[in-house]
Amino acid sequence: MKKLSTLQWETSVGALGKVDEEAFRSGRLCLIDQTLLPMERAHATCREVAQVWAAIKKLQVRGAPAIGIAAAYGVCIGLQTLFADGRTPSMAEFYERLDEVTAYLASSRPTAVNLFWALDRMKSRAERLPGTISPEKACVRLLAEAKAIHREDKVLCRKMGAYGATLVSDGDGLLTHCNAGGLATADYGTALAVFFTAHKQGKKIHVFADETRPLLQGARLTSWEMREHGIPVTLLCDSMAALVMRQGKINAVFVGADRIAANGDTANKIGTYSVAVCAKAHKVPFYVVAPSTTFDLTLRNGSGIPIEERDPEEVRCGFGKQTAPDGIEIYNPAFDVTPARLITGIVTEFGIISPVTRANIAKILGSEKR
Ligand code: MRU
């Protein structure tokens, strides 16, 4: 079966690796439409920045690193309008449009810091352009930056996988929540990179995937990814994790992250906090796997992390079937914050931070990083 890429910049000249005026002008963002999985494998194509915004908002592309990459390409798509109808814009118009497009994309989802990190990186690349550059050449440089963000994320995944796999033993049962795999990143995932790497090393592992209410990223995406890689997986309703831990079937928990504060408090998919509490109660190690791009060292702790609240209909009427009475009050936060004290270690591309303390985080990431 043809391998679908989570994200891909496609051009009508077909020169995927080339970054020139034609690759910029005719480019569009293709992404696996994750809302259709696992029943349908199809790409969505974004030719306008509003489509990129909607793809992020609707979770056609989701997972913190993937959102950042999509947004970086989204900036390029937003800049294409500068050249509509053969216009020749000025550099002042280039910077004005760049501000407009980055602010717009930043309004799509609030929690995953990778989105803001990628947009900041695109803007700071633009600020470093030579004063004599043409708008068209400036756009080519920004497309090259988006591609660099995309490429670098693949490397991060592999490094996290290698560090994380040192925590896995032959025969382990491993629990995860939501989807922090290939679909959520450029390549191999964060938490799931650990499973893929351990599996490749020949360790026999068994994965337990929480289904992850309300949008079922665990059921639809993680169990699908495990099967694609030939890793044995058992799907659980979220409420079953404590029992399975008590039965002694779980040796460790690995989850991804959307934003990690300077003290290690970690925002991830709603329900992660409950899993961490259960893991603590059953003395099961609980690991977060995330690249440095997911840390927000401007926040002293997790209380400042903005938590996205989503449409109540996702709970009342998930996947087209009403399961609660009309008019019932619904609370639908998409993320929660797991306090650092419940986290055994954070696996990054630089190594494993354990114990999770402000000092250890600063040491590994370098406090000057942001
Ligand atoms: O709402 P989602 O599906 O974007 O939430 C995703 C998660 O919570 C992931 O665990 C997180 O982004 C890490 S992805 C490597």
**Residue 366, SS3?**
coil
Q: How many residues are listed for the chain in this entry?
A: 370
Q: Which is the closest atom of ligand 1 to the Cα of 63?
A: 12
Burial of 321 (0-12, 13-18, 19+ CB in 10 A): exposed
* pLDDT tens string 182-195: 999 999 999 999 99
The structure's pTM equals 0.96
Q: Which is the closest atom of ligand 1 to the Cα of 178?
A: 10
Burial of 36 (0-12, 13-18, 19+ CB in 10 A): middle
Q: Where are the beta strands (DSSP E) in the chain?
A: 7-10, 28-32, 43-46, 173-176, 206-210, 233-236, 252-255, 259-261, 266-269, 286-289, 295-296, 335-338, 345-348, 351-353
If you average pLDDT over every residue of the chain, what do you get? 95
Pocket around ligand 1: residues whose beta carbon is below 6 Å from it?
Answer: 59, 62-65, 112, 178, 180, 184-185, 190, 217, 256-258, 268-269, 334
Q: How many CA atoms lie within 13 A of 303 on its CB side?
A: 1
Q: Is there a contact between 254 and 290 (Cβ–Cβ < 8 Å)? A: no
* Cα 44 to ligand 1 centre (Å): 19
- Output the pLDDT for position 100: 98
* pLDDT tens string 254-291: 999 999 999 999 999 999 999 999 999 999 999 999 99
How far the first Cα of the chain sits from its last, in Å, is: 42
> Is cis: bond before 355, omega within 30 of 0?
yes
* Cα 252 to ligand 1 centre (Å): 19
* pLDDT tens string 66-83: 999 999 999 999 999 999
Q: Where are the beta strands (DSSP E) in 214-304?
A: 233-236, 252-255, 259-261, 266-269, 286-289, 295-296
- Give me the sign of the Cα torsion angle 19, 22, 28, 31: negative
311 is catalytic: no
More confidently predicted of 22 and 290:
290
Test site for ligand 1: of 156, 268, 349, most ligand atoms within 8 A of the Cβ: 268
- Tokens encoding 335: 């993320």
* Cα 199 to ligand 1 centre (Å): 22
* pLDDT tens string 121-141: 999 999 999 999 999 999 999
DSSP string, 29-57: EEEE-TTTTTT---EEEE-SHHHHHHHHH
Q: State the amino acid at position 55 in one-letter form.
A: A
Q: Is there a contact between 177 and 271 (Cβ–Cβ < 8 Å)? A: yes
Task: Express as a percent the part of the chain with pLDDT over 70.
Answer: 96
Is the model's pLDDT at 364 over the cut of 60?
yes
Test site for ligand 1: of 157, 178, 332, most ligand atoms within 8 A of the Cβ: 178
Is the model's pLDDT at 13 over the cut of 80?
no
- Output the pLDDT for position 14: 60
d(CA 88, CA 7): 30
Q: State the amino acid at position 266 in one-letter form.
A: T
Q: Which is the closest atom of ligand 1 to the Cα of 217?
A: 3
Name the residue among 197, 87, 83 with its Cα closest to residue 140. 83
Q: Which is the closest atom of ligand 1 to the Cα of 190?
A: 15
* Cα 61 to ligand 1 centre (Å): 10
* Cα 240 to ligand 1 centre (Å): 21
Residue 5's pLDDT band (boundaries 50, 70, 90)? confident
Active-site entry in 153, 172, 187, 258: 258
